[in-house]
Structure 1
Amino acid sequence: MLNQLIVALLSSGALAGLIFLLRRVTKVQVWDERWHACFVTANQGWFWRRVAWVTQPKLMVGWCFLLAVVQWSTRGWLGALGVLAGLGGANVIGIIIKHTLKRPRPVQHLAHDDGYSFPSGHVLGTTVMTVMLWQLYGPAWWLAGSLLLWWGLVAYSRLTLRAHYPSDVVGAVLLALSWLSWLKWLIQLLGWF
């Protein structure tokens, strides 16, 4: 339980620090644009668009409900509730941050990638689902490798499709880790599992 609290505090602090830097230090935007240029390629082909489509936030909610049904059948309603709270809570916090910061997307992003940039909703949902799947079904090496590969493809797709800056991806990961750690700490504190 102490480990969860430590991870929650560290990731929350890092996320708060990143948000502070994005709002107050203009050189961070310059750095972000330079790093972003390293990831952007002329090839925005079907593969990267499919990766982004499968992990779009609306579809990720469907994947989450599917996982919740599996959890309901194997671990009961608390397992299903934990899965739904994991993605649902992260999405709500992500939307609040997006509409508070109002960070514009990178130049030349795809037309259907509307809205604000920070944090990446695709990466947030994928990170939450990856961590939850690992916690529920790990620690097999093949599962870890598959989840890490999938996460990497999603993160890279958001950069190469010009939808997000690198800090948007980092912020999404920090938010996911922070929220899931706080949630797991609370669940353990209440003795639900």
Structure 2
Amino acid sequence: MTAIGTVNVVDRGWMALMAAARIEPLTAAAEFLDWLGGGWRAVVAVPMTVIVLLALLQRWWAIAYFVAASLFSVALVQTMKTLFARARPEEILVTSDFGSFPSGHVTNATTLMVVLIILIRKTWMIIVGVMWIVAMALSRTYLGAHWLTDTMAGVVIGTGAALIMLGAFSARLEREDHERHTAAVRTPRR
């Protein structure tokens, strides 16, 4: 029994499937995603890389949007983890912090990718973004760090945080994008 109710049949069935599918190459890949999506890499390295790349493109409002969406999603995840206090699966292969619901790794991955999809607006970014989110979600359940519904909630929360913050920044982002395109047209190529 957990604070949000009993673990459902879908969660238990999915966990059994993931535990049965464990083989060394998949475990190594999932552990890499766990490493990349957690700790200082998720909190400092990945966000700073995105911020530096956006700064090189002089996308100042895009940086503000990314930071706001990221902070909002982290606040939502930590509030919900404390509120629901859901126990993690017993089949866990990695060390994790308190609270299974929702998945912070999946929420962060989703927030990042939805923001990049919105900013870049290219088909390849959508494909990369969806693949990254699915890979992160699968890795979390494969490692037993989360129930399937924890990862699904992470996708919803990450998407929601990015879209809510888009509402606050959309006019500035459109103006910034328009100014960049106008400047590119005015600057002759050599």
- TM superposition score category, shorter chain reference: 0.7 to 0.9
Other-structure match for 1:71 = 54
Query: Does residue 29 in structure 1 map to residue 12 in structure 2?
Result: no
Question: Judging changes above 3 Å, is the alpha-carbon distance between structure 1 residues 160 and 58 closer, same or farther for their aligned structure 2 residues?
Answer: same
Judged with a 3 Å threshold, the aligned counterparts in structure 2 of structure 1 residues 146 and 171 are, in CA distance, closer, same or farther, namely same
1:77-112 CA-to-partner distances (Å, cap 9, x unmatched) read: 322111111111101110111011100100121351
SS in 1 for 2:8: helix
Are 2:145 and 1:163 aligned?
yes
C-alpha distance in 2, partners of 1:146/1:77? 24
Q: Which of residues 123, 132, 146 in structure 1 aligns to 2:106?
A: 123
CA contact 1:72–1:78 (8 Å) conserved in 2: no
On the 8 A contact 2:4/2:86 being kept in 1, the answer is no
Find the counterpart in structure 2 of residue 154 from structure 1: 136
* CA displacement at 1:31 relative to structure 2: 3.4
Q: Report the counterpart of residue 178 of structure 1 in structure 2.
A: 160
Q: Give the partner amino acid of 2:46.
A: W
- State the distance in 2 between where 1:37 and 1:155 align: 16
1:192 aligns with 2:172: yes
Could you list the runs of 5+ residues in structure 1 that have no partner in the other structure?
1-21
Q: Which moved more, 1:97-106 or 1:128-137?
A: 128-137
| Structure 1 residue ranges (4+ consecutive) displaced by more than 4 angstroms after TM superposition | 22-25
Alignment match, 2:184: none
Distance 1:157 1:83 in 2: 24
1:41-56 matches, cutoff 5 A: 41-43=21-23, 45-56=27-38
Alignment check: 8 A CA contact 2:30 2:143 kept:
yes
Look up the equivalent residue of 2:16 and give its one-letter code: A
Asked if 1:109 is matched to 2:76, the reply is no
Amino acid at match of 1:35: W
CA change 1:63–1:88 in 2 (3 A) is same
Task: Output one character per residue of 1:31-66: Cα deviation in whole Å (capped at 9) or x when no partner.
Answer: 322232222333253222112211225312221122
RMSD: 2.1
Task: Label 1:83 to 1:24 Cα distance change in 2 as closer, same or farther (>3 A).
Answer: closer
Q: Following TM superposition, by how much is the alpha carbon of 1:23 offset from its aligned partner in structure 2, in angstroms?
A: 5.2
Contact 1:102 1:116 in 2 (8 A): yes
The structure with the larger Rg is 2
User: Normalising by structure 2, what TM-score?
Assistant: 0.78
Q: Which runs of 5+ in 2 are unaligned?
A: 174-190
CA distance in 2, matches of 1:182, 1:72: 23
Label 1:24 to 1:56 Cα distance change in 2 as closer, same or farther (>3 A): closer
| Whole-Å separation in 2 of the counterparts to 1:156 and 1:137 | 25
Give the TM-score normalised by structure 1.
0.77
- Residue by residue over 1:113-146, the C-alpha shift from the partner in whole angstroms, topping out at 9 and shown as x without a partner, is 2321011111111111111111122323x33222
Secondary structure, counterpart of 1:123 in structure 2: helix
